[in-house]
Amino acid sequence: MGIERIKEHIRVVHDFPQKGIVFRDLTTVFKDQKCLKDLSSLMTDEYKNLGITKVVGIESRGFIMGPIMATNLDAGFVTLRKPGKLPAETYKESYQKEYGLDTIEIHKDALCEDDIVLIHDDLLATGGTMFAAYELVKRFNVKKIYINFIVELEALEGRKLFPADIQVDALIKY
């Protein structure tokens, strides 16, 4: 079990969502109960003693492991959503993705200065989405921010967007 089994279950889809993109599909990992259980443990073990109070998940694939990680860490879960999906007042951040411009939002009351936050998404590519999430979370002046992914595509160098004092972790690197 473990990381190698998880890697074996990642489906590679060429030319999705557009020509030239190699998509790492994690749905094949999530549907396997042993992989999901291993992933659940592996993704949270490093953070168990860091005092995480909130896990922030990015729409939509960050909504899969984010709540699982929050439960494992005895933390709350906060959603970052696409525009118009959150019902109360929000902060917004726009960013450039590999194939277009996008925006994410967070409720203005989602976090507080006492929070220690783990921001999670499934995959780090160019880093635009996570950097926008990081910028949103910074607005709350939280105590500490950690960043976490299941997969990192190292050749796209998304990690370089983040300050050196921010811990950025990826379970699997390609």
**Res. 17: pLDDT tops 90:** no
**What mean pLDDT value characterizes the chain?**
95
* The pLDDT value given to residue 136: 98
**If residue 100 lies in a helix (H) or strand (E), which one and from where to where?**
strand 100-107
* The pLDDT value given to residue 99: 67
Q: What is the dihedral of CA 156, 159, 163, 167, to 10 degrees?
A: 180
140-163, pLDDT tens digit by residue?
999 999 999 999 999 999 999 999
| Mean pLDDT of the 73-87 span | 97
* The pLDDT value given to residue 1: 60
**Res. 30: pLDDT tops 90:** yes
- Tell me which amino acid residue 145 is: I
* Domain 48-173 CATH class label: alpha beta
- Tell me the percentage of the chain whose pLDDT exceeds 90: 91
Q: What is the pTM of this model?
A: 0.95
| Mean pLDDT of the 39-68 span | 97
* The pLDDT value given to residue 75: 98
Q: Examine residue 83 and say whether the peptide bond preceding it is cis (omega within 30 degrees of 0).
A: no
- Report d(CA 52, CA 146) in Å as an integer: 9
**Locate tokens 């379970």: which residue?**
171
* The pLDDT value given to residue 2: 87
Q: Residue 22 in 3-state DSSP?
A: strand
Provide the annotated active-site residues: 61, 98
* The pLDDT value given to residue 96: 83
| Mean pLDDT of the 9-29 span | 93
Domain spans of the chain?
A: 48-173
**Res. 98: pLDDT tops 90:** no
| Mean pLDDT of the 88-97 span | 93
Give DSSP secondary structure letters for 150-174.
EEE-GGG-GGGGS-TTSEEEEEEE-
**Res. 130: pLDDT tops 90:** yes
